[in-house]
């Protein structure tokens, strides 16, 4: 299924979607002289293409990624790039399965992998493969800009969550967020991004808010793909925002970059994975694959930080997340925090999904009022074994 790329035309390279990650990799590809091909954002069509050509019981990220690749190749991408890692979950097998599926379907594109745990070296080798160049200065610039954008995207999403929970006119925060995204997309230099930071802040400050609204704070954890991809989680953050809930995610693109890509000397403080090993210890002693260790620790963290609740999102049949869901009941004795576990797949109906979220928000609100009214609220303070 390889495509001949001997012409002088720029190579079109595509990655699967996961939230706003395309803004970061597009910049890196532009800098090295490739053309980023951003396929249409994941949709029902993507899901149906992926599901049609996937094993039935495979997790939803696989189906959506395959769907993204099919749409990218049909749209003209020369390369489809996949992030892979060895390990205990199925992600280690994804690459082979996806490339076989594309070949069996007769698609012509170069399938290329970026090994996660090779860190910067893995990224460098990937850039070398897709560009056909070997330029340390150029690749370093591409990696720095890509990573800087990833951090800006995460900060912008935090701002969106803050404003969305307090906005007076529904949809206002998202409207300004979309404008702010353009500032990130349009600038591929550090100086430009520095200016963009200021413009983003100003843009988001235009959202009319009720600063005194009694907002609930919820942490979202789970498998990293469904946590960060708004199609697969049915835009849960928008729904929560509509209900006056501000969301915090510890499993983000940048938490992953800090743990897997950014060298130790450039990192400040404890990473999410380091925190996970520390906080999950009484309940889970080792990494059992996927993001289960992080999820268990995120429950402890949410409770320690005084969140009103935590939502756990997992793809149907995801083994690591089945394990974490089975650990949560054992944590209840130590962590007095409401947990809502939601399982996502192509069959997840919207109406039932929203009803469960609404019921959970209602529960958290009543619990919060009870705590506020109670004279003896010390019972709900930190009881975790940390």
Two tokens at 192?
């430009």
Please, which of residues 214-243 interact with ligand SF4 by CB under 6 A? 223, 225
Stretch that binds ligand SF4, among 170-178, 315-323, 328-336, 338-346 (CB under 6 A): 315-323
Is the Cβ of residue 184 or residue 313 nearer to ligand SF4 in the bound state?
A: 313
Closest of 35, 31, 116 to residue 72, by C-alpha: 35
Length, in residues, of the chain: 386
Which member of 11, 32, 320, 360 binds ligand SF4 (CB under 6 A)? 320
- Rounded distance, CA 36 to CA 224, Å? 23
Report the candidate in 18, 22, 41, 39 with the shortest Cα–Cα distance to residue 30: 22
Q: Which of 21, 64, 77, 89 binds ligand SF4 (CB under 6 A)?
A: 89
Q: Is 203 in the site for ligand SF4 (CB under 6 A)?
A: no
- Return the residue of 114, 236, 315, 340 that touches ligand SF4, per CB under 6 A: 315
- Measured CA to CA, the distance from residue 123 to residue 116 in angstroms comes to 8
Q: Does 341 bind ligand SF4 (CB under 6 A)?
A: no
Which listed range, 64-72, 86-94, 115-123, 254-262, lies at the site for ligand SF4 (CB under 6 A)? 86-94
The contact pattern for ligand SF4, residues 55-74, with x = CB under 6 A and - = no contact, is: ----x-x-------------
Sites for ligand SF4 among residues 94-153 (CB under 6 A): none
Nearer to ligand SF4, 71 or 321 (CB): 321
Query: C-alpha angle 154/160/166, rounded to 5°?
Result: 150
Pick between residue 227 and residue 339 the one whose CB is nearest to ligand SF4.
227
- Give the CA-trace dihedral at 306, 309, 312, 313, to 10 degrees: -120
Supply 227's token pair. Answer: 């946590």
CA angle 40, 225, 18 (to 5 degrees): 25
Nearest to ligand SF4 of 287, 336 (CB atom): 287
**DSSP run (H or E) holding 219:** strand 216-222
Stretch that binds ligand SF4, among 20-28, 38-46, 88-96, 202-210 (CB under 6 A): 88-96
Radius of gyration of the chain (CA): 21
357 touching ligand SF4, by CB under 6 A: no
Can residue 19 be called a binding residue for ligand SF4 (CB under 6 A)? Answer: no
By CB under 6 A, residue 322 contacts ligand SF4: no
Q: Running DSSP on this structure, what letter comes out for residue 8? A: S
* CB 338 within 8 Å of CB 279: no
How far, in whole angstroms, is CA 10 from its chain's centroid? 29
Stretch that binds ligand SF4, among 89-97, 141-149, 168-176, 188-196 (CB under 6 A): 89-97
Q: Which of 209, 319, 327, 354 binds ligand SF4 (CB under 6 A)?
A: 319
C-beta of residue 252 within 8 angstroms of C-beta of residue 155: no
Closest by CA to 225, choosing from 100, 347, 103, 63, is 63
- Asked if 298 touches ligand SF4 (CB under 6 A), the answer is no
Among 70, 290, 307, 343, binds ligand SF4 (CB under 6 A): 290
342 binds ligand SF4 (CB under 6 A): no
Distance CA(47)–CA(201), nearest Å, equals 35
Helix extents (H) in 167-252:
172-186, 190-204, 224-228, 236-242
- Binding test (CB under 6 A) with ligand SF4, winner from 91, 142, 273, 284: 91
Applying CB under 6 A, the residues found at the interface with ligand SF4 are 59, 61, 89-91, 223, 225, 290, 315, 318-321
């Amino acid at each position: 299924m390889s495509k001949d790329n001997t012409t002088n035309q720029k190579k079109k390279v595509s990655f699967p979607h996961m939230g706003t990650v395309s803004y970061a990799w597009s910049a890196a590809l532009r800098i090295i002289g490739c053309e980023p091909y951003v396929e249409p954002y994941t949709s029902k069509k993507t899901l149906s293409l992926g599901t049609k050509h996937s094993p039935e019981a495979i997790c939803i990220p696989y189906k959506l990624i395959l769907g993204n690749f099919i749409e990218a190749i049909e749209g003209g991408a020369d390369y489809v790039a996949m992030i892979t890692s060895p390990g205990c979950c199925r992600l280690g097998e994804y690459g082979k399965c996806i490339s076989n599926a594309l070949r069996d379907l007769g698609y012509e594109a170069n399938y290329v992998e970026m090994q996660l745990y090779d860190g910067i070296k893995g990224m460098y080798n990937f850039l070398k493969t897709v560009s056909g160049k070997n330029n340390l200065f150029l690749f370093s610039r591409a990696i720095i800009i890509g990573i800087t954008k990833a951090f800006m995207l995460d900060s912008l999403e935090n701002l969106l969550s803050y404003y969305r929970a307090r906005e007076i006119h529904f949809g206002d925060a998202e409207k300004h967020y979309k404008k702010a995204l353009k500032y990130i997309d349009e600038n591929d230099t550090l100086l430009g991004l520095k200016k963009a930071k200021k413009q983003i802040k100003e843009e988001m400050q235009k959202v009319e808010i009720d600063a005194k609204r009694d907002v609930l704070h919820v942490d979202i954890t789970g498998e990293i793909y469904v946590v960060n991809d708004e199609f697969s989680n049915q835009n849960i953050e928008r729904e929560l925002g509509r209900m006056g809930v501000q969301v915090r995610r510890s499993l983000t693109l940048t938490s992953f970059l800090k743990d897997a890509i950014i060298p130790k000397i450039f990192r400040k403080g404890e990473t999410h994975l380091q925190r996970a090993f520390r906080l999950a210890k009484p309940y889970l002693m080792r990494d059992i694959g996927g993001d289960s260790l992080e999820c268990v620790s995120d429950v402890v963290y949410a409770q320690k930080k005084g969140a009103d609740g935590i939502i756990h999102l997992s793809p149907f049949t995801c083994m690591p997340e089945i394990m974490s869901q089975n650990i949560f009941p054992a944590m209840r004795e130590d962590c007095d925090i409401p947990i809502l576990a939601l399982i996502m797949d192509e069959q997840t109906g919207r109406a039932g999904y929203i009803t469960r979220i609404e019921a959970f928000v209602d529960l958290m609100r009543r619990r919060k009022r009870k705590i506020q009214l109670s004279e003896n609220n010390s019972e709900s303070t930190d009881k975790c074994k940390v």
